Amino acid sequence: MARKRKSIGADSSADEINVTPLMDIVFIMLIFFIVTSTFVKEPGAEITRPEAVTAKEKKFASILVAVDSENNIWIDKDKVPLEAVRGQVEQLKAENPKGTAVVQVDARADSRYLVEVVNQVRAAGVGDIAVSTDPKS
């Protein structure tokens, strides 16, 4: 029987750890977290929210509509006419079917615009709508 001799400096790759599967798993996890993460959306206008005693915190709203002090309506940093709110919200709802909506209305805006925007958002098929306020101190 012949014996194989292991020479020094021959094939030392058997002693190394293969990290390729580990790197694959890390990249897959990174892609998963990027795809499933929720990013903070800004309405596109500076809003002074009204105060409310019964304000409750609500997180993870995917549709954000704002009405500024001059009664301009903003969705995703774009100024939108009242007639186009429903179409814009329907597009955002198609991207995230389980999404909820938050309407931010400036304290100096006409309350008619709050009602109209909420009606348009509800007509777009979003059932969970909140109005953003500041807690009264």
Burial class (CB within 10 angstroms; exposed 0-12, middle 13-18, buried 19+) of 133: middle
CATH of domain 51-135: 3.30.420.270
pTM of the full predicted structure? Answer: 0.59
Beta bridge partners of residue 7, listed in sequence order: none
Which residue ranges make up each domain of the chain?
A: 51-135
pLDDT of 28 reads 92
pLDDT tens digits, residue range 99-112? 788 888 888 888 88
Residue the block writes with tokens 């306020």: 133
Task: Provide the pLDDT confidence category of residue 16 given band limits of 50, 70 and 90.
Answer: confident
pLDDT digits (tens, 9 = 90+) for 62-100: 788 888 888 889 888 888 898 988 998 888 888 888 878
Closest CA to 48 of 22, 67, 21, 76: 67
| Predicted local confidence at residue 21, as pLDDT | 87
- Does residue 124 surpass a pLDDT of 80? yes
According to the model, what pLDDT value does residue 41 have? 60
Backbone angles phi, psi at 99, to 5 degrees: -70, 150
Res 26: pLDDT = 92
